[in-house]
Each structure stands twice: as C-alpha cells, then as structure tokens.
C-alpha cells in the first residue's frame, strides 16, 4: 500500500498514545513526528512546516480543563497562522470544541478512538490543510500583483533626461488603446516599457501576452499567433488557441517585429486590420480585442525604403513611438542601476551589503556597455558571486574593454583585436563587433558572420550579449 505524502506532528504527554499513533499512522503517511513535551513546539514549527498537528488538550495529571491545550493551540496559530490542528482529549464537551475551533483548530477527536474514524478525520483535515495553503499562496501572489501594479514603471530605473522623456510618453499613451512601437538596441529594456504601458492601461487587470517573433519559425507563425484546429497538420493533436485569442481583452506584445518576412507581415497586417483571426484548419473567423505593443532593434524606416518592411504595417503599429536611449547615452543612470542590481543579487545569493569604490563608479560610467542594461545586470551578478570583499572595484565587473581603441571606438564597432586567440574569446569578440557595427540589426550581423539568425541568437545567449 502506497503512503500518502504528509508530515504529521503528534504532541501528547502519554508515551503509550504516542507509540500507538506513530505505529498506526506511519503505515499510511510518509512522515510522523511525535513529541511529549509541548514546550518543544516552537522549535519544531521553526524547523519545517507540518501538514497536520494532533495536539492533546491536557498535559498535567488530573487536569481536565483543557486550558493548557488551548494555550498551546493559540501559540501554534501565532507561529504558523496556516497550521492545521486537530485537538485530542478524553474529556470532550461541545463548549470546549467550539472554543478550540474559534482559536484555530479544524477538528476534535475523543479518546479512545476507532482507527477508521481517526484515519478519515486526518485525511479530511489534510485536504483542508492543502486547500488553506493554496488559498494563502494565491493570496500572496495576488498581493505581489497588487504591489506590482502600484509601481507605475516597475523595474525601469533612470533619472536621465532621455529616460524622463520615456516616462512622460508612457504616462501619456498608457491610458489609451493606441498601438505603440518601442525602438531601441538589444538590452535597453523594451519589454519592461511594454509591461509598464500595460500596467498603467485600462486593460491592466487582463492578460499581458508576449511573443518573440525572432524565435518563431516561419512555418509555425500562423499556428502560434492565430491557433489551429485538431488535425490541421501532423502535430496538431488538439484544438489550440493562438496568442491573439489568448490576449483578447488585454495587451499583446510582439517583440522583434522587424524580423518578420514580407509574407508574414501581410498575414499580421490582415489580422490587425480586421481584428479577426482564423485558426489553421478552420473556416470561421474569431473576433479579437487586443492592445498591440511592438518592439524592434531594427531600422524599420530604412527597411521600408529597401522594401523589406511594409509601410502600411509600419503605419498600423506605430501610432505612438517610444525610443529607448542606449545605456552609453544615459551615464548618470548607471550608478542607480548598479545599486539596484547589487541589492537584488546580494539578497538572491545571501551576501552582505556591497560598496562601490569611487574609481569603479567612474569606469563603469565611461564604459560603453554595448550590451546595454542586460550586460550591466550580468556584470553586477558576476561581481556579487565572485567578490572577495564588500567593496567592489572596476576589475570585479570584468568589463570587456579591448586593449586598443577608445570607448567611443568600441561603441561604434571599431574596437581593436581581442586579448588572446582563445576560440571562445575570438567568437565572442566577433559576435559583439558585428552586433555593434550593425547597431543591433540581427539579420545583417548574422549575414556578416555567416550564421543563421537562430545560430546568432544562440551565441548571444551563450556570451550574454
């Protein structure tokens, strides 16, 4: 017989009762802990939470009042408000049972008991305990969401002139249903801006759905965005809603929209114009109501001039444009960002408080940050993990400044050779240089490197670029 996964604590001053309960319940549940001294309860509850506690009402010879059991029940509830407690006693009465339930007990057992009744009571209590903890988890999650909604710009940090202009635009456009196009280099925080717009929009209580168009294969585009019917193609083993349907009523964020081919651009434009989608393999269209937010690091206007991006699609998606400045153009924000990520990663890795040496701050501000905020975040995380002291210096951040070439040259893709001929360092340097040279244009950088876009994305992830 398989045991039910549960951690049960039994607190009773009668060793015979503890022995018989442990013997019986150990056959049905994975862990049964017994304790004769109620003064050990705080230590036990701090060690690890219990799914259920069986608590005796009386711990003194001749005492039948139940007062001590009530006192320990109150203590348990103070230590763990979500605890599930069953009171056990040989002197039960209705008044005592009602009082115990008011304090926080979920049931009441009389001595002596029948094992079948005991087992049924415990299983019912465990179900209630699981439900309680699930409700608490959902409540905690809801509180996190509420707290998040009360932060208008989330994790977007900055006081520079460029970022203040971004905040102003977000405030102006968020409460409307206007389509927004976010432009900026890789790593500048385009998705954070999209989420901030949704957070302040009239749709903030609905879903925010993200689609990375750069990672969607052309053959799966329609299925991913518009959905499919069972049997529409080989792997379509059931009906599936597309991202447009799922996002209906909320916001749809299309990242890397500049990577779409012309045929896929036409299909996207049709859905945006009609506000309808048709699942692959279906005949009927489905109405959708989405607020569209798009983003790209590619020069869409130049692509329109080169006939690589549809002008009518550009007009459809860019009712309002928000351009994010690269980190090298907002140097005054760098100390704020470093302080934020230091606190975040120190807490995550349970480290102490860190200080930044003045000389390090100067070098951090002068470094061009070709990978923008994403690169800075990784540099801070690495520094926290490897730090030998609570004061961080420039070398702790392992900035990849080439031996030759100025910071300005590096930012413009004209940096000198890497330090060594290590293959990984050479590859990282080549990828970084190609991205910088083509201002983050994935297609052009991949073409110059002789890679597919997917292969370039994998190398960017590998080298945290």
pLDDT digits (tens, 9 = 90+) for 196-224: 999 999 999 899 999 999 889 999 999 99
| Bridging pattern class, strands 276-277 and 286-287 | antiparallel
CA-to-CA separations, 236 to 9, 228, 229, 241, in angstroms, rounded: 49, 7, 7, 12
Q: What are residue 187's phi and psi, to 5 degrees? A: 85, 10
Positive or negative torsion for Cα 237, 243, 244, 247: positive
pLDDT at 411: 39
pLDDT at 93: 64
Q: Do residues 260 and 273 make contact, with C-beta atoms less than 8 angstroms apart?
A: no
pLDDT at 222: 93
pLDDT band at 142 (very low <50, low <70, confident <90, very high): low
Query: Residue 11 belongs to what H/E stretch?
Result: strand 4-11
CA atoms of 197 and 176, how far apart (whole Å)? 10
- Tens digit of each residue's pLDDT (9 = 90 or more) over 96-129: 777 888 888 888 888 888 888 889 999 998 888 8
pLDDT band at 302 (very low <50, low <70, confident <90, very high): very high
For residue 242, the SS3 value is coil
Superfamily the domain 4-143 falls into: Response regulator (3.40.50.2300)
The C-alpha torsion from 443 through 449 and 451 to 457, rounded to 10°, is -60
Cβ neighbours of residue 246 closer than 8 Å, sequence gap 6 or more: 207, 209
Q: Quick check: 291 pLDDT over 90?
A: yes
Cβ neighbours of residue 337 closer than 8 Å, sequence gap 6 or more: 157, 158, 327, 373, 376, 377
Q: Quick check: 184 pLDDT over 90?
A: yes
Average pLDDT over residues 27-51: 89
Helices (H), 48-114: 67-79, 94-103
pLDDT at 404: 41
Structure tokens at 211: 């689609």
Q: Do residues 342 and 354 make contact, with C-beta atoms less than 8 angstroms apart?
A: yes
Q: Quick check: 292 pLDDT over 50?
A: yes
pLDDT at 141: 56
pLDDT band at 169 (very low <50, low <70, confident <90, very high): very high
464 Cα distance to chain centroid: 19
pLDDT at 330: 93
Q: Do residues 14 and 39 make contact, with C-beta atoms less than 8 angstroms apart?
A: no
pLDDT at 37: 92
Q: Quick check: 294 pLDDT over 90?
A: yes
Per domain, the residue ranges of the chain are: 4-143, 161-325, 328-462
Average pLDDT over residues 50-69: 82
pLDDT at 322: 97
CA-to-CA separations, 232 to 96, 280, 288, 310, in angstroms, rounded: 65, 6, 21, 29
CA atoms of 181 and 419, how far apart (whole Å)? 39
Model confidence pTM above 0.75: no
pLDDT at 401: 53
On the question of a common fold for 4-143 and 328-462, the answer reads: no
CA atoms of 433 and 417, how far apart (whole Å)? 10
Closest CA to 73 of 30, 48, 107: 107
Q: For every residue of 1-40, which 3-state class applies, written as one string?
A: CCCEEEEEEEECCCHHHHHHHHHHHCCCEEEEEEECCHHH
| Fold (topology level) of 328-462 | Helicase, Ruva Protein; domain 3 (1.10.8)
- Tens digit of each residue's pLDDT (9 = 90 or more) over 19-31: 999 999 999 999 9
Percent of the chain with pLDDT over 90: 48
Q: Do residues 369 and 188 make contact, with C-beta atoms less than 8 angstroms apart?
A: no
Cβ neighbours of residue 363 closer than 8 Å, sequence gap 6 or more: 394, 399
Q: Do residues 432 and 441 make contact, with C-beta atoms less than 8 angstroms apart?
A: no
The C-alpha torsion from 277 through 278 and 280 to 284, rounded to 10°, is 160
∠100-105-107 over CA atoms, to 5°?
95
Burial class (CB in 10 A: 0-12, 13-18, 19+), 444: middle
Closest CA to 188 of 160, 149, 213: 160
CA atoms of 199 and 253, how far apart (whole Å)? 13
Average pLDDT over residues 1-8: 86
Helices H / strands E in the chain, number of each = 19, 16
pLDDT at 168: 95
pLDDT at 403: 39
Architecture of the domain whose range is 161-325: 3-Layer(aba) Sandwich (3.40)
- Tens digit of each residue's pLDDT (9 = 90 or more) over 383-436: 999 888 889 988 888 886 543 444 444 334 334 556 566 777 788 888 888 877
pLDDT at 413: 38
pLDDT at 101: 80
Q: Quick check: 440 pLDDT over 80?
A: no
Average pLDDT over residues 314-340: 94
Residue carrying the six token digits 């420039």:
394
Of the listed ranges 64-68, 360-364, 437-441, the one predicted with least confidence: 437-441
Average pLDDT over residues 257-261: 94
pLDDT at 145: 53
Q: Quick check: 232 pLDDT over 90?
A: no
pLDDT at 407: 41
pLDDT at 412: 40
Q: Do residues 85 and 73 make contact, with C-beta atoms less than 8 angstroms apart?
A: yes
pLDDT at 139: 65
């Amino acid at each position: 017989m398989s045991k039910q996964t549960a951690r049960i604590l039994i607190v009773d001053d009668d060793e015979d009762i503890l022995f018989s309960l442990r013997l019986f319940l150990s056959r049905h549940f994975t862990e049964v802990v017994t304790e004769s001294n109620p003064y050990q309860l705080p230590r036990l509850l701090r060690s690890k939470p219990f799914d259920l506690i069986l608590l005796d009402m009386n711990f003194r010879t001749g005492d039948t009042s139940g007062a001590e059991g009530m006192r320990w029940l109150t203590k348990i509830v103070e230590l763990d408000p979500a605890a599930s407690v069953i009171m056990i006693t040989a002197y039960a009465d209705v008044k005592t049972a009602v009082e115990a339930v008011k304090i926080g007990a979920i049931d009441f057992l009389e001595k002596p008991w029948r094992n079948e009744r005991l087992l049924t009571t415990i299983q019912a209590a465990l179900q209630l305990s699981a439900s309680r903890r699930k409700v608490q988890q959902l409540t905690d999650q809801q509180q996190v969401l509420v707290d998040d909604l009360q932060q208008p710009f989330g994790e977007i940090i900055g006081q520079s002139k460029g970022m203040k202009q971004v905040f102003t635009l977000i405030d102006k456009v968020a409460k409307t249903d206007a389509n927004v196009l976010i432009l900026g280099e890789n790593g500048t925080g385009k998705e954070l801006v999209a989420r901030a717009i949704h957070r302040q929009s009239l749709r903030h209580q609905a879903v925010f759905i993200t689609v990375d168009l750069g990672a969607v294969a052309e053959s799966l585009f329609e299925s991913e965005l518009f959905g499919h019917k069972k049997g529409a193609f080989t792997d379509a083993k059931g009906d599936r809603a597309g991202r447009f349907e799922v996002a209906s009523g909320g916001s749809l964020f299309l990242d890397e929209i500049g990577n779409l081919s012309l045929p896929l651009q036409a299909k996207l434009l049709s859905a945006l114009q009609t506000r309808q989608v048709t699942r692959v393999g279906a005949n009927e269209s489905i109405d959708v109501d989405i607020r569209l937010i798009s983003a790209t690091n590619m020069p869409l206007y130049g692509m329109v001039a080169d006939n690589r991006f549809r002008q009518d699609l550009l007009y459809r998606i860019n009712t309002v444009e928000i351009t994010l400045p690269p980190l090298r153009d907002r140097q005054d924000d760098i100390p704020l960002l470093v302080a934020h990520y230091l606190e975040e990663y120190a807490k995550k890795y349970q480290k102490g408080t860190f200080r930044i040496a003045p000389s390090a701050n100067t070098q951090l501000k002068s470094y061009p940050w070709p990978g923008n905020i994403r690169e800075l975040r990784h540099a801070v995380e690495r520094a926290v993990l490897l730090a030998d002291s609570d004061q961080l210096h420039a070398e702790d951040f392992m900035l990849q400044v080439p031996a030759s070439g100025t910071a300005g040259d590096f930012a413009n893709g004209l940096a000198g050779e890497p330090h060594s001929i290590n293959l990984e360092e050479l590859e990282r340097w080549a990828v970084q240089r190609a991205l910088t040279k083509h201002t983050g244009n994935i297609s052009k950088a991949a073409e110059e490197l002789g890679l597919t876009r997917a292969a370039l994305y994998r190398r960017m992830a590998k080298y945290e670029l």
